[in-house]
Amino acid sequence: MPGDVTVLEWSLRLILAALFSGIVGFEREAQHKAAGLRTHMLVGFGAALFTLVGGYAFEGADPSRVAAQVVTGVGFLGAGAIFRQGVNVRGLTTAAGLWAVAAIGMTAGVGIISGAAVATAITFVILNFLGFIETIMRKRGAISNRRPFSVKLSNLTEFNQILNLIRSIDVQTGDVGLERIDDETYTLGFDVDESHMHTLVAAIKSFDSVVEASEIDPPAQ
């Protein structure tokens, strides 16, 4: 990054990086996610600051090396935002948002303000409006209507019968995950077509070993 940067330019880039990141973080905050407004603002601000320091504070420094380290650091943050709840995985969208915010901060840090603004707008649209489009497409059958489903068992004596029942009701059922919760509790996890949901619940509950059978809440975005 050639040339000298004034204090005003430094300040403006850092402020804009925080503001752009805050726009993305506001949506996450509104969805009551753990990584909300402040987290996203700090990630964007930090990415911009690292970019500025790497490019201007050290003579002959290679900004691309700093950028690579920022990406690595954000990867750890993103991994922390993803967690498993039973057979469901949550936080993927939040992790992707943090990654995007870091890129926005780096873009603002090198002075490509218009690029950072456009990236912010695109990220905001993806988070706020594409979910609505997905819902419409799902209703029209354009994308899968399959839902995550969970069956809690007290033992595995009827496991094979239950597995055969699942696949007889929904022949497209793929992998069925089995997780041991404790010595007396097991959980089956799989995806099932929405149209088979009620039939499957009624049939599975007839087994003595079934403690609970229900649809899993959609993964947190």
Q: What is the pLDDT of residues 160-199, one digit of tens each?
A: 888 888 888 775 666 677 778 887 788 888 777 777 778 8
Q: What is the pLDDT of residues 105-115, one digit of tens each?
A: 999 999 999 99
Helices 37-52, 63-81: inter-axial angle, 10-degree rounding: 160
- Quote the pLDDT of residue 143: 56
Phi, psi of 67 (to 5 degrees): -60, -40
pTM over 0.85: no
Pairing of strands 210-215, 146-153: antiparallel
Q: Which DSSP symbol is given to 4?
A: -
Domains, the chain, with CATH or none: 7-138 (no CATH), 146-215 (3.30.70.260)
Q: What is the mean pLDDT of the chain?
A: 81
Residue 123 has pLDDT above 90, yes or no: yes
- Quote the pLDDT of residue 187: 84
More confident residue, 146 or 95: 95
Residue 2 has pLDDT above 70, yes or no: no
Can you give 96-148 as a three-state secondary structure string? HHHHHHHHHHHHHHCCCHHHHHHHHHHHHHHHHHHHHHHHHHHHCCCCCCEEE
Q: Which amino acid is at 194?
A: E
In the numeric block, the tokens 């990141």 are attached to 21
